[in-house]
Structure 1
């Protein structure tokens, strides 16, 4: 297959069943069963095999197609296969059975990249160089301004070498912006004009960061080592080691790093000697060879201390992370404390953003965590509080949130429930703030992505216009060829429009998913304060009646419930078993307060495999709360609350919440105007959650509320129908 072969994005999956359907259903009834799926990637028309295609599973598995185009990989039902190659668009496929998969790729004609020398004269030969220098100067400071200079430089370019330089710098800009797919495209364009070792190394690096691992390996291995400088040769071996590590080929990774280390030591390339010792140590750590890892980390740490302070402290923190992984907390704490003192020295000369590990709040938080792991509550609290103060001054919401959450856990372990509850309440407030900040960031990222797309299209359009103009100039006397060029330009325009439409569709789909996820998080976060408020009112009533022992017992159970709710607060769905435990604990707390008002019974059908079903967290609790607070509480005689879970179909269960309270009509009549608004808002919140989840997961939850008459009272019955959910992200 040609090195410049391109493919249209038309991929057909042909599924060959290897088992009878009934046997399939029996063997793969358990979604967690792992099995091997086989497949192949071939050209549609010739049936020629396509080797070296990256095959990756979202659970972490990785392989490539062999020379026959075949592959096999271990998966489980619901896994997503990513089939990626530089020669066709990335394909995503969801595993539904032990089927054999065939990917057919339709081949298009080779793209011709023709850069003819322009015959126009530039008014100033230095203009192009000045624009390129400006673009490189603003590369890290202001990407948009850098792209503007690149666009102008492209219009001034008059040779393939100059065009190559333009696209090389543009690739650097996109690497800085972490837009690795765009970086790959521009580096390839640069190489098509003039191939250089420096750009080839950059392209290999961009392929790696874009997870095109096989293409990255091919680029590194294709380079002629005899033509590389010493620094480039070290970079090549380092890059190979990185890719082998990412593809879990640890022995090859270590071998590549050691080859690079030998070159760096021979030619005294000190920064690379430090880096490679550190990377070798990390691979040994991943392999579980702690002694080898310690030896290489010791070397990298000694070498880093001979360099500048920033490099030294970075390596020290890398070693501290390793000590944490092997549970050597004392050594970790010592290293982080040394790093803190160095950070305070270099902070006056350097500015670190909040994402950098070189921040006091980050290190104080990790020291606090290490002390907590040792059981040293006093020091853990001290450093966690330092972290919170530092994070507050630096407006680092992420570290502040995590440090506050850890502080709540430490206080809870120390049985200081009052401070634990206060820290938890602070944590809930911080979660809301983080959500708000993330929503802003998503909006800004979407706007910036649109701007980048516009600029890239402008550059592409400019280059197309230049090529068209130059072709017209050269082919003025060749009418037939000019007509052919126009036809090709129209085809290119249609393809560009199709590509733009596809990107817009993909963007809209991703934006819609992001909006749904944000809405779910927002709705979940609105439920917790209301739930906590009601529970704290219960504690208050016990305290008011001087029943301190009962209040303490209630608060202990309440803290357990809060911790469980917090653990599930980030999930769209949780196992039914967890939800049942939450309901048992919550109902127990409500009965604890209103013993004279009702008894309750929770009955789960023994035939139900509760681990097979998922449910939105905190979905049932508001209905139980309504039954107790608005139905049973006002009943003159002692009532009964029944919670039943039965299986109605093989993939469907029914959850009933039944009370013989005063009924919805009387309850509404007793409520104040404020209470009616609050209840309406709470029920509306649940309806919105169910609606969004059903949109995302195809109608898996249904809720029906009706009256339930028993012995003269009009009670209420809530029926929640829940279907099995296949948790796949589209």
Structure 2
């Protein structure tokens, strides 16, 4: 491979750097991290935590996110940047490491390092990376890098193939842009245009949007659609200016100048060339020199010889400074030998042979030193012509003989380069085939594995069928159990409804007896007032009759109204009080409706009514625990034993029915709601005529 194929890494060259951002402890990728070049490009990490951004050596990368402190990193190589962060709340704030922890990433980075200097070594690293690949994402990256190698070494057909394989694995806009450019360079102009146009702008970064329109304009320029090319370049320039993409602004001014030049609009072309040259001077010396050379070439085509010579002399001085730090390839248009050759040619066009000869000699000398046989040959031929035109035929003849020798040398060298180029293309193709073979072998291994897995699957099918049958039986049993449970619940609900329906007529009957007694004593006004309160009470009772539980607050209101009515009738028999302790949060508890009323009714009708002196009915709601309260109903009536002795057989039967109904309701509710209610009835004391105590415990 000839030395001309190797290019040194240049500090002013813009390239794409890959990277990722992950959390240290969990190794989870962090999406939507802001990645910005100081004063340049901007992007964010994707859902996998990966990013790509256009940079050059010496740029400062700023990495920002709300969950960690801002990180600053200076670009000093093409290697992948793996940022591992700790949350900002940790004591060490942020720890970031720039390393390639995985073998795969290290191989990809090595391939990128050798991409422009040693294609074979770069492809070798790509091959090894493919062997390490564990996912379609990594496969996609392998073929993208392989496409980059092919594209750089001008094997555009191979580049197209590899970019397409990369996209078959994972669709990324970056690779689509590369594929569109490869199509253009390979002469597939329509495919390039279609692919560029298929890219949706909302999915692209600002840099990618600008690159899309710049690439489209390049294709239009090559297909001689100059008007469309110019308009597309201008659209790209508007975006670049709006997003402050300085490198793109310079490049697009230069390309617009080229489009105007092709259209014959010399003045406009010159204006944009000068603008590009001014912008390039604000970036790097190499970029400024490249733009000066373009403007000098433009001046040469338009016979502005003096302006051309002045610019080329500036280029020579600038290149001498640049070459102190880096090597400029002979393929570059800004080499010193080329500039001296063109300055000498420009002076020759003015017939200023005295000035032309030193520049041509200098060009030959530098070209020989740098083994640039093409420029050495061209400058020698031109020097011979200058000697001839100046009348120095002897020097013209001797120089012409040197020229003939150089032509022969160049012919031999070109033959060798053609052979080397063919061998190089063949080697790349062989390596490409080797990579494809490795991929096919891996796919075959995967197929064998799948066949084995399928056979094992069939063997396990019988076992799974048996297990499935067992599961089906269990599921059937579960649904049968659930059905029985639902039926039991339905029966309980029906029983509750039946018991509630039995409670209401009993309560209404007693209340109507009270009204009847008022009417019988000709106390019409009292009867009307009693009926008014009774109707309110009945409406509340009927509203709650279909519910299993009501808020305790409502039950207390109902009890207050009911006790008021009973006291209204038996004012001379008892007084009453309803006390709710302050530490009881009434709104947190619920109670079955009409649960307490029968106990109050019994206290009045079967205890307090038979006392000779005035009795006391007391209802107290108090807190027992954080999740339990007690409702205590006490009366100092005649007591349960004496009450039974005073009642008729019919009355005893009615009491027993009411109490049994309450007991059944409590049992059913506790079965349904896990021991929510507890009722305890006892004598207030063992002495005669000392009353009854009912304690109802209610849980949340």
**TM-score normalized by structure 2?**
0.50
Q: State which structure, 1 or 2, has the greater radius of gyration over its C-alpha atoms.
A: 2
